[in-house]
Chain A
Amino acid sequence: MLKIKGLSKSYGSGKIKAVDNIEFEVKPGEIFGFLGPNGAGKTTTIKMIVGLLRPDQGEVYINGINNQTNPMDAKRQFSYVPDNHEVFEKLKGIEYLNFMGDVYGVEKDKRKEEIEKYLKLFEMEKAVNDPISSYSHGMKQKIVLIGSLLHDPMVFILDEPMVGLDPKSSYNLKELMKQRCAEGKSVFFSTHVLEVAEKLCDRIAIINKGKIIAQGTMEQLKGDAKDKESLEKIFLELTEL
């Protein structure tokens, strides 16, 4: 569903290697967690997947479509929720959702149904007619989430999705991720919340200094590490090498 092959990216004319020849694959029906310390290369990788950065080397296939050679079709296969929720502040929530529906060509009846469903789920019905500038950080996160789900993407890509969400919304989002995977779609997200990754993800990749240092199911990761107690200990052990 999402395949990364030999992806590399460096900054400053090759002086700083942000992502160094990484490879992984997110299969259909899988929740894949992407972990790493600050500055490890998580956001750079995600930006290359969604087309906000151009890789120096390597290929990204989204639902079988190369995002460099066929970017428009590749972009229709996924939804991306960035870590900073800078949306068009002067728009009302509903105007933003309609814009997203228009961009992805979601038909009116389907759009109405999806907007209603997700507004109820994230308790945004009352706020949706207000300007986004009046929203809290978590509400902005929720409106971006709803907008990104309208076209029912095959691959759902999220950068630090739990930051700013209240416990109920966070729970709803996790349930939504599971539900999407049960339907054969995939979820790829980065997080610092190791408990979430441990409980939610089918597989995990840990990136440090631009390289993937561990990858697999929780059981496989525990097998690689000396201390087999928790993901937190595995993470600390691997990233402090």
Chain B
Amino acid sequence: MLTKTLLNANFGFSKMVHDVKTDTKKILMPLLIILVFASLVPVYIMYTRLLKTVYLQLFVLGQEGALFAMTFSGAAIVVLFFGLIYAMSTFYFSKDLDKLLFLPLKEESIVASKFINMVIYEYMIIVPILAPVFFIPFEEMGGILYSVFFIFGVLLLPVIPLSIGTILVMLVMKFINIEGKKDILRTISLFLFLIVLIVFQLLVNKAATSIPPGSEGEYIEALLRNQNSLVNIVGRTYPPAIWLSKGLFASNSLIGIFSFFSYAAVSIAFGIGVVFVGKKLYVQGYFNKSDSAKKQVALEYDKDVVSSSPWKAIFLNDMKMVMRTPITCSIA
């Protein structure tokens, strides 16, 4: 119930339908959105063809399963990036707790509803990215289990990266939530965290995929000898992608079924984890924030009372508003 309300409140479906019904000119907005998506169709066709080509090349090498590992790892990084911004907006800039905490709703229900909202938002990004990946290998691997695993796998895909991103945001907000600090400082800290995370990921990636000098031949031989061994290398930086990939290319074997259920279990565990962490950091953080008092600085009349020309006043006013608005507010 809360999830449905928050979805409607965030996406504004009702408002959009109402606007179109009451003012026909406002149909331009949904039309514009459709036009923007339509303009992306050629790019999407190119992307699908690229995936098909990559798949065929991998298929020749007996490494077709690596397509899954590549796309799932990529999608997870995209989810993490957008997730950080969206988590900041959903949990901290929306200020929903003021409207929800006095209602008879469990704190974990509030966190879970907000998280499910973010997961659904991420589907808008990852479903288009991953939809072709379902069809391209379907001829060779397709079947009931493949379809079921793929659909549930994609539905669960945002959960782990989004949980990591959300917990990161909550940690940043908890530790930077010092009395009197501005939102901008928190936002900058979050992006610094993101940079550190990407650098860390690159270093791990480099270490995981590097081939010891002189052993390139053996490495490639081993790669060609074992079918789909590339999945383990590509997915090393994001192990859940390996489990889901195995679940798909080996969906008819016990290993495949076990891999998929491992992936599903870990995803669900992360989802439950974020609810508990959210209760501790996010809801508790709300009460702690309410406890803090901002320092009041006494006015110095000679220094603080200033006069400017009207144009300068407008310019300075705009500048202050921009500088005091968190960047993510304008992005999200």
Contact = CB atoms under 8 A, between A and B. Distances in A.
A91 B8 contact: yes
Nearest to B106: A72
A132 B286 CA distance: 26
A92 B292 contact: no
A75 B103 contact: yes
Given A54-B287, A86-B98, A99 B5 contact: yes
B92 to A, nearest CB: 15
Nearest to B18: A131
B18 A12 contact: no
A102 B1 contact: yes
Contacts of A76: 104
Interface stretch (B9-17, B221-229, B259-267): B9-17
Contacts of A50: 102
Interface size class on chain B is 20 to 34
B182 interface: no
Interface in A153-178: none
Nearest to A46: B102
A102 B101 CA distance: 15
Interface in A53-83: 53-54, 72, 75-76, 80, 82
Question: By DSSP majority rule, is chain B's interface helix, strand, loop, or mixed?
Answer: helix
A56 to B, nearest CB: 9
Interface string B97-111: 011011111100000
Contacts of B1: 99, 102-103
B287 A53 contact: yes
Contacts of A15: 293
B103 A130 contact: no
A66 to B, nearest CB: 15
B292 A12 contact: yes
Contacts of A87: 99
Interface of B: 1-2, 5, 8-12, 14-15, 18-19, 95, 98-99, 101-106, 179, 287, 290-293
